[in-house]
Structure 1
Amino acid sequence: MESYFEYIKKIAPEIVEIVEKRYEILKNISYYQPVGRRVLAEKLNLTERIVRNEIDILRNLGLINVTESGTILTNEGKDILEKLSNIVYDIKGLEDIKAKVKEILKAKDVYIVPGDADLNPYVLKEIGILASKVILSLIEDVKIIAVTGGQTVKEVVDNFPACSFKDILVVPARGGIGQEVEKQANTLAANLAKKINGSYKLLHLPDTMDEEVYNLLIKKEEIQEVLNDINSADMLVFGIGNAIEMAKRRKLSQDMIEKLKEVGAIGEIFGYYFDKAGRIVYSTTTIGIKLEKIKNIKYMIGVAGGSHKAEAILSLGEIKNNTIFVIDEGIAKKIMSLEK
């Protein structure tokens, strides 16, 4: 059955276009405020003339103020933006898209936020906010949460509301010492534990290592203790990466990157690289969660933003079946187009 928004699209499509455009403008102002017209035009991929006209309209409606520092939302603007979120969700038909993507992935569930993080980074924050709500709805019977590193998981942690679950232990899903400490699993595990007033344990180990070092470290009692907790997790919150992109970030050798290309590596999660058919074509020697253990995890929460992640998600094989995905509109539409 068609929604009334479908009828509006048919009889007055320009109204829907205006609503979507002004929603995007308000959303960008909310994220970047105070923001100037030129920056706003760049973020929206619109001309300064169009942005100037829209700003004048929104200011006359009392939804924004233009200050010397830039444009900001008024309280009424914030209220309207919050109410518009559900309307835009319906206008974009995201409920239908969600159902189709859930069927394609054969996932446990799928949640979608409007927009595409490849076009606007504020969408990652929206994914973080939504994912935190999903986690909170499931957390009552959770004792151990494992988290991976990465920007999207960081957005989940950064946007997690302060609450109290003292009995919950948070652990990193894998080791990680190197650059961008704020995005590493250790840091995110500690920060999430503080947000929920829980406890945490850390793995002070390199993300990857040679086999000899691995075999030595894996025998240490303190590492075994944390590994037991990681592999007993009730919930795993993980990011999903493009295989070659992640190989470069992890500073794999150029020879290895070329080999990954040759074997058709597309997606990556916690050190495992998958091809289009969902087969593992390579795995790094890392201390942390093992693939064979994740089938025992009650709640798998996969988070990703940006349409370029669609193929990576599709490559995850049977892992998709036990995962609750929190993604953006860009990924969802790309998944649908790839599966046509």
Structure 2
Amino acid sequence: MNVSFTEAQLALVPELPLLIEQRYHMLKLIKASGPVGRRTLSSMSGYSERETRTMLELLKDQGLVHIAKEGVSATEKGIEVLFVLHDTMEEKSGRRQLANKLSEQLAIRNVFVVEGDADHSALTKKLLGMQTAKQFSAHVKDVKIVAVTGGSSVAAVPPFMPTEELKDVLFIAARGGVGEELGLQANVIAASFAETCDASYKAFYYPDTLSEEAHAVFQHEPAAKEMLDLYSQTDCVIHGVGDAAKMALLRNSPEDEQQILADQQAKGEAFGFYFNQQGEIVHRIRTVGIQMEQLQNVPLVFAVAGGASKAEALLSYLASAPSHTILVTDEGAAEKMLSLIKRM
């Protein structure tokens, strides 16, 4: 009788797979949220405080976490362990299969699915940021100009970005600022990326309320011309996708404009463009920024959005997105998207 090493381990310690899964999950929570308190970890993980304390002591003894007054954080060794185990654990969770199925349906370069639903979990939003930063790091070579949009999903990325090899990178806003919450504006997020990566950034302010005539004049201003030149040289775009109706409200769009979006059955929004279910552009706001046709020539494009409520918006945008797009989303959005696709 030939027994493999793995079979022998399981015969001796049958609970081993569960223990690995539990400790991996805890370590991932710590990496995404650290420094974080034990009580908060207990609440996020679903384990009792006693179970959490025991697990933290085990992780600490193995040099995977650091416990201090301000909370628990992952060590370099802990982060490396997460990296090594990531693909295997994602395969076991079923998220890799979910991502592959969605990638085939959408006909885009790749899809990565993180656990949870961002509509109901702040942690899931952090996991979206962590996964996007991880994939960016895998493709960072030769990237010189990165354009980023506003929004909470993109704002979750900077804390997890690599700090090495990015000093020569320039981060820019993918388009002029909109009336979003200050911390979620593209200019602020570009600055956040630059600060984390010890890189540089360039802000670009553009009032959303310009008339058509003023917009035509503004495009010839030196600041606008400089940004247009940078957009033509952009190597990477990291962008969110919004719900059309919610974005129109966020921008305080006039009632007649909101009615146009309703009449045209706009579902999703990206870069100031609004899309219907078929991926057709049905409306756009006046701004200076990355154009949809330019995305085809940008080598690295990340779309980042999660939550089941974003499923329809994501499908409408992705129906005409560049085929080399890399989507980072969550289980809530992925499952809802597949469900909607089946009904089409």
**Whole-Å separation in 2 of the counterparts to 1:34 and 1:231:** 45
Q: For 1:43-74, what per-residue CA distance to the aligned partner results, in whole angstroms no more than 9, with x for missing partners?
A: 67xxxxxx68x333444554699xxxx9x769
Q: Secondary structure at the match of 2:214?
A: helix
TM superposition score normalised by structure 1: 0.79
Deviations 1:13-59 (A, max 9, x none): x999999788777766773842648x966x67xxxxxx68x333444
Query: Secondary structure of the residue that 2:321 maps to in structure 1?
Result: helix
Aligned to 2:323: 321
**CA contact 1:63–1:74 (8 Å) conserved in 2:** no
Residue 295 of structure 2 aligns to a residue whose secondary structure is helix
Match of 2:170 in 1: 169
Give the counterpart of 1:335 among 334, 337, 340.
337
Distance in 1 of aligned mates of 2:21 and 2:251: 38
Indicate the SS of the match to 2:140. Answer: helix
Q: Which moved further from structure 2: 270-279 or 321-330?
A: 321-330
Percentage of pairs with the same residue:
34
* Cα pair distance change 1:25/1:271, threshold 3 Å: same
- Match of 1:209, SS state, is coil
Query: SS of 1:170's equivalent?
Result: strand
Letter in 1 for 2:50: D
Structure 1 gap ranges (5+): 1-13, 45-50
Question: Are residues 1:279 and 2:273 paired?
Answer: no
Is the alpha carbon distance of 1:264 and 1:29 closer, same or farther for their aligned partners in structure 2, counting shifts above 3 Å? same
Sort the Cα spacing of 1:208 and 1:332 in 2 relative to 1 into closer, same or farther, 3 A.
farther
Tell me which residue corresponds to 2:299: 298
1:60–1:21 distance in 2 versus 1, CA, 3 Å: closer
CA distance in 2, matches of 1:226, 1:127: 28
Aligned partners of 1:313, 1:75: CA distance in 2, in Å? 33
Q: How many Å apart are 1:232 and its aligned residue?
A: 2.2
Look up the match of 1:11: none
1:125 aligns with 2:126: yes
TM-score (norm 2): 0.78
State the superposition RMSD in angstroms. Answer: 3.4
Give the residue type in structure 1 aligned to 2:335. K
Q: Deviation per CA, 1:229-288, whole angstroms, max 9, x where unpaired?
A: 123211111111111111111111233223312211101001000010111111001111
Change (3 A) 1:275 1:294: same
Aligned: 1:56 with 2:50: yes
Q: 3-state DSSP class of the match of 1:339?
A: helix
The residue number in structure 2 matching 1:193 is 194
